[in-house]
Chain A
Amino acid sequence: MESPTTQNEVQFSEAAMAEIRRYISHYPAERKKSAILPVLHIAQAEFGGWVSPQVQEKVAEILDIQPIEVFEVASFYTMFNLKPVGKHVLEVCRTGPCMLRGADGLIEHLENRLGCHVGKTSPDGLFTLKTVECLAACGMGPMLQIREKYYENLDPQKMDQLLNDLSKA
């Protein structure tokens, strides 16, 4: 298993642990498992944009559940990356309303520009290109999401500008 960590090394920062405890406090004490999605989000942000099996096992330990329960959940929801990703994950909406306003062209442009297909990471390791389904930005398409931020009303020129800015950052 290619993983940057081994099981023993998965250690959340104190800030992340505080956030995890805050979420767990939102649910009845015997319903800790309720916090699984927020905790997976925190874990993904904490450990390089993806959740390795070891990270998922750690989440299970924190929530007092079996690892398989975390695997089942993490693999159901599309926001969790189960394989390593590039520095920036570009999640481009491909659903109807965005398609009508040019998402297909934007995706093609990104594939050419990044030199990788959808689902892959650019050779320089900077960008992982993902297509996603409707992100509730149908009036502002085409659009994409990078981490918590939406970039809307995009065209190839704006896209290039954004990629340049991200490459420098």
Chain B
Amino acid sequence: MAKITFDGIEVEVEDGTSILNAARKIGGKIVPPAMCYYKPLAGSGGKCRVCLVKVTQGSAKDPRPMPKLVASCVTPVQDGMVVENTLSPQVLEARKGVVEMLLINHPLDCPVCDQAGECDLQNLSYEHGTSGTRYEEERRTFDKVDIGPLIQLHMTRCILCYRCVYTADQITDKRVHGILGRGDAAEIGTYIENVIDNDFSGNVIDVCPVGALTDKTFRFKNRVWFTKPVDAHRDCPKCSGKVVLWNRGSDVLRVTARKNEYGEVVEFICNECRFDKKEVSDWIIDGPRHIARASVISANHYELPVVNPQIIADLPESTTKELNLLPRPF
């Protein structure tokens, strides 16, 4: 076991745990954001650099600080390590810089993007970015690539987190897509026209932190904040069958896997559950889905508590009243 101090809070974790997961054990606002790291996917992390933290003391044995900021998702803890995240202006400044980098070539087409409302990049830029842009150059574009009837690829939105590649490697039996090209010309693709199609291919949609990979069967059907998430399950021979249904009235508009508070899929689901079971009668409803992450979904009217009621100016009075009765998480 190793004891570390993260933002002034002591926590004990198993040896080999990453700094990020140690912070998650503490939980709350001090947890660094992560755009590429994804706990269920081995090998993920280290790429997006938004989880950079400052190690002010390397370990009890060797108390020297680390010379550079480190990616908390891939740096293992050492006993006696002292780490600063929200307490370090250097970290916050660097994070702001990384967010800017992630956005300079992003199309900012949120108004027509199906991911809007549940987009990690939206949340990240809201919390850590700046309102303006200093980027005067032309934004990067890519040729359109069709990867089949179920999944929509929008390469311009991609932040190259590699999660979908790891998913295809680790969850499906054959990977046909990957990262092609190099540098800022690198892109997700199949190279030769190829359909990403196997029983678990749809999971790349759930792991994508942005709107680069979205559900074609849900495309332009609705905004996620108008849909009502409910937990449901069915007896599925291929997967756990535990899903979230995104309903509008009595229509099932979308089916996704269940995710934890960090947006990580708890159990990957099969394509049949995701794409073919779009009737309420296909499912046994477990109850309303609690979306813990900061997003407009958690701030909608279907479900409480709202973490940041003050950011929504015109909540109905009834909701405000109910909210005030609830214990605040922070």
Q: Do chains A and B touch in the complex (CB under 8 A)?
A: yes
B176 touches A66 (CB 8 A): yes
A68 touches B175 (CB 8 A): yes
A20-59 CB contact bits vs B (8 Å, 1 = yes)? 0000000000000000000000000000000001000000
B191 touches A76 (CB 8 A): no
A69 to chain B, nearest CB (A): 7
User: Which of these, A1, A66, A69, A78, contacts B192 with CB under 8 Å?
Assistant: A1
A114-132 CB contact bits vs B (8 Å, 1 = yes)? 0000000000000000000
B60 to chain A, nearest CB (A): 39
Residue B280 interfacial (CB < 8 Å): no
Nearest CB in chain B to that of A56: its residue: B191
Of the candidates B174, B177, B182, B191, the one having the most CB atoms from chain A within 10 angstroms of its own CB is: B191
Nearest CB in chain A to that of B168: its residue: A68
B182-199 CB contact bits vs A (8 Å, 1 = yes)? 100000001110000000
Residues of A within 8 A of B179 (CB): 72
Residues of A in contact (CB 8 Å), total 11
Measured CA separation A78–B174 after assembly (Å) = 27
A-B contact count (CB 8 A): 30
Residue A12 interfacial (CB < 8 Å): no
A71 touches B182 (CB 8 A): no
Residues of A within 8 A of B180 (CB): 71-72, 75
Nearest CB in chain B to that of A53: its residue: B192
Nearest CB in chain B to that of A77: its residue: B182
Nearest CB in chain A to that of B180: its residue: A75
Known: A53-B191, A53-B192, A75-B191. Is A69-B182 also a contact (CB below 8 A)? Answer: no
- Residues of chain A from 95 to 143 with CB closer than 8 A to chain B in the complex: none
Measured CA separation A67–B189 after assembly (Å) = 12
Measured CA separation A1–B192 after assembly (Å) = 9
A75 touches B181 (CB 8 A): yes
Nearest CB in chain B to that of A82: its residue: B191
- Residues of chain B from 48 to 103 with CB closer than 8 A to chain A in the complex: none
Nearest CB in chain B to that of A72: its residue: B178
Residues of A within 8 A of B175 (CB): 66, 68
- Residues of chain A from 73 to 89 with CB closer than 8 A to chain B in the complex: 75-76, 78
User: Which of these, B174, B176, B177, B182, contacts A75 with CB under 8 Å?
Assistant: B182
Tell me if B's interface is mostly helix, strand, loop or mixed.
loop
A68 touches B190 (CB 8 A): yes
Nearest CB in chain B to that of A54: its residue: B192
Residues of A within 8 A of B176 (CB): 66-68
Residues of A within 8 A of B181 (CB): 75-76
Of the candidates A1, A53, A75, A76, the one having the most CB atoms from chain B within 10 angstroms of its own CB is: A75
Nearest CB in chain A to that of B182: its residue: A76
B177 touches A68 (CB 8 A): yes
Measured CA separation A69–B177 after assembly (Å) = 9
B178 touches A69 (CB 8 A): yes
A139 to chain B, nearest CB (A): 28
Residues of B within 8 A of A67 (CB): 176, 191-192
Residues of A within 8 A of B177 (CB): 68
Measured CA separation A72–B178 after assembly (Å) = 6
Measured CA separation A112–B190 after assembly (Å) = 37
Measured CA separation A71–B178 after assembly (Å) = 8
A97 to chain B, nearest CB (A): 22
Measured CA separation A68–B192 after assembly (Å) = 9
Residues of B within 8 A of A66 (CB): 174-176
A149 to chain B, nearest CB (A): 26
B19-50 CB contact bits vs A (8 Å, 1 = yes)? 00000000000000000000000000000000
Measured CA separation A78–B190 after assembly (Å) = 19
A5 to chain B, nearest CB (A): 14
Of the candidates A67, A68, A69, A78, the one having the most CB atoms from chain B within 10 angstroms of its own CB is: A68
Measured CA separation A69–B179 after assembly (Å) = 9
B286 to chain A, nearest CB (A): 38
A110 to chain B, nearest CB (A): 24
Of the candidates A67, A72, A78, the one having the most CB atoms from chain B within 10 angstroms of its own CB is: A72
Residues of B within 8 A of A75 (CB): 180-182, 191
Sample 24 A-B pairs with CB under 8 A, ordered by A number.
A1-B192, A53-B191, A53-B192, A66-B176, A67-B176, A67-B191, A67-B192, A68-B175, A68-B177, A68-B178, A68-B190, A68-B191, A69-B178, A71-B180, A71-B191, A71-B192, A72-B178, A72-B180, A75-B180, A75-B181, A75-B182, A75-B191, A76-B181, A78-B182
B interface, CB within 8 angstroms of A: 174-182, 190-192
Q: A53-B191, A68-B191 are in contact. List 6 more A-B contacts (CB 8 A).
A: A1-B192, A53-B192, A67-B192, A68-B190, A71-B180, A75-B191
